[in-house]
Amino acid sequence: MPDRYVDVWYPVDQNAVEGRPKATYNQRTPLPRDLKHFVPDAYNTVVTMEAYKDVAGSAKGPFPVLLFSHGASAYRMANSALTAGIASWGFVVVSADYLERGVVTQLPGQKSLTLDPKRDKRLMLASLDLISKENDRAASLLHGIIDGTRVAAAGHSAGGTTAFDALNDPRVKVAVGWAPSAPSATPADKPTMIIGASNDIGVPPTQLATTYGSFPAPKRRVEIGNAGHNSFTDLCLVTRSGGGMVQYAAKSHLVGQALAKLLLNGCEKTALTPEQFFPVVQHFTIAELRSVLRIDTEEVGLGDAISRAFPGITMTYRHQR
């Protein structure tokens, strides 16, 4: 098994990043050294994140923690536009590698994707243990910035199962699923939010309605119109730039048509653009976290009228207190 990494996005002070270039990753970044050749130069699209590398955390901390789990066939940076955006609102976002169901499992000659909710829950909670140790280590960039009493979990697709399962740990107070799979066991009696997409062919609205119905209150469900399964990832940014692993794999017939269609679901020309979609997901995720973690003394941005607050975007919003 290749090395397993954890990426962390967190608030920094403005004067610490002046003159620094923004952090980037490319399509080869999540691949082990012996497989980086898989992506030809023409498809090795660079993604520039709204983040900076190796900067000390802000002195304004400590900050609440959001543990994040990527979806199947993805990788720890795959949702960076959203994870970096959430961090900018005063959160430490921790995204680990879930290699056994990650992008490498889709490459020719590699081990098949395996789903193991118990393993994935252990990995998510291990990432919390890791940053907690870094918080206590004086030489760490994360020293003193983590509020371990305010911990949430989030995940996309299969990562939603991981986030919901993590609620059974007493440290985790709330979970948010983006186009999520259901929890693997009886849902914990804690707040949850589901954010889905109307045109999702991987986890369709009917499936999310069933998952939502299985949760105890308080709970919330948002369905965003004209979006798909991977609207939540950076994939649509990559495809608009003319490259990427998915396009190369599909063009070279290295993945089947059904998988290619799922991976690009939400990136169609008729779908919402990332610039339209990301702010909606970010808004609801942050509002839920701030409410449950008692950062706001009263709910902000979660009233019924919020479904009409994004011009040109249709959505449905349900909640049960």
CB contact set of 135 (below 8 Å; sequence gap of 6+): 62, 142, 143, 144, 145, 146, 148
Residue 161, C-beta contacts closer than 8 angstroms, at least 6 positions apart: 117, 120, 155, 180, 181, 182, 183, 184
Q: What is the arithmetic mean of pLDDT over 291-299?
A: 95
Banded pLDDT at 294 (limits 50, 70, 90): very high
85-111 tens-digit pLDDT: 999 999 999 999 999 999 888 777 788
In tens, the pLDDT along 203-213 reads: 999 999 999 99
In a domain, 115, yes or no: yes
Which residues 6+ apart lie within 8 Å of 156 measured at CB?
Answer: 69, 70, 71, 74, 78, 79, 177, 178, 179, 180, 232, 233
CATH code, domain with 222? 3.40.50.1820
- Predicted confidence at residue 250, as pLDDT, reads 75
pLDDT recorded at residue 187: 87
Mean pLDDT score, 249-270:
81
- Residue 105: the pLDDT is 85
Residue 287 lies in a domain: yes
Look at residue 1 in the predicted model and tell me its pLDDT.
58
Domain that holds residue 230: 6-320
Q: Give, as one character, the DSSP assignment of residue 27.
A: T
**Average pLDDT, integer, range 224-234:** 97
- Does 1 map to a domain? no
Q: What angle do CA 58, 61, 63 make, to 5 degrees?
A: 115
Asked if residue 269 belongs to a domain, the reply is: yes
Into how many domains does the chain fold?
1
Domain for residue 158, yes or no?
Answer: yes
Residue 210 lies in a domain: yes
Q: What's the whole-number average pLDDT of the chain?
A: 94
Please report whether residue 131 resides in a domain.
yes
Mean pLDDT computed over 203-225? 98
Note the pTM of the prediction, 2 decimals. 0.96
Determine, yes or no, domain membership for 65.
yes
